Amino acid sequence: MRLSPAQIWRTRIPRYRLIGKECKKCGRRHYPPRPACPYCGSRELIEVELPRTGVIESFTVIYTVMEGFKDRAPLIIATVKLDDGTRVVAPITDAEPEDVRTGMRVEAVLRRIRDDGSYGLIGYGTVFRPTILVHKTS
């Protein structure tokens, strides 16, 4: 795998901070950010920091993975519906396939999402894990 420094740099903020876009015309949000709203086509968009918790809406388990991901197999890829309704497709980490289910609460974490061998760049980004910790309790 060859990771481009320019691509890593361009995408770092949305990947690190889960920054999406909100359409000023139809009000819907999407991630990752695009130049035009995927729902109405408007280009009047503003950046928004998306909520870091949500539920798994659907998921799949990939056993035959592409080169570079063998040590991560099996990969769990889910559609996560965030608490504001935005849908994000992302890997699920710190979980085994038998533990994952539709409706499971998940939270965003920063992880290594790809790397260019032992000498190249490391790409960091947001993935999700089952919410195992109780936040904001006394």
Partner 1 sequence: MARDSGIVSWGAYVPRYRLKAEEIVNLWGWDSNIPKNLNVAEKAVENVDEDSITMGFEAAYNAILRANINPKRIGAVFFGTESKPYAVKPSATVIAEALGVTPATMASDLEFACRAASEGLRSALALVESKYIEYGLVIGSDTAQANPGDVLEYTASSGAVAFIVGPSKEAAAILEGVYTYVTDTPDFWRRGLSPYPKHGEAFTGEPAYFSHIEGAVRGLMESLGLKPDDFDYAVFHQPNGTFPLRVGRRLGFPKEKILPGLVTPLIGNTYNASALIGFARVLEQARPGQRILVAPFGSGAGSDAYSFVVTDRVNGLRGKAPRVDDYINAKKYVSYAVHAKMRGLYRRIAN
Written in H, E and C, the secondary structure of the chain is CCCCHHHHHHCHHHHHHCEEEEECCCCCEECCCCCCCCCCCCCCEEEEECCCEEEEEEEEEECCCCCCCHHHCCEEEEEEEECCCCEEEEEECCCCHHHCCCCCEEEEEEEEEEECCCCCCEEEEEEEEECCCCCCCC
Would you say 17 or 87 has its CB closer to partner 1?
A: 17
Please, what is the minimum distance in Å from the beta carbon of residue 112 to partner 1? 5
Q: What's the closest the beta carbon of residue 46 comes to partner 1, in angstroms?
A: 17
For partner 1, the closer CB: 44 or 49: 49
Which residues bind to partner 1, rule: CB under 8 A?
Answer: 12-13, 16-17, 67, 70-72, 93-94, 109-113, 122, 124, 127, 132-138
- The least distance separating partner 1 from the CB of residue 23, rounded to whole angstroms, comes to 23
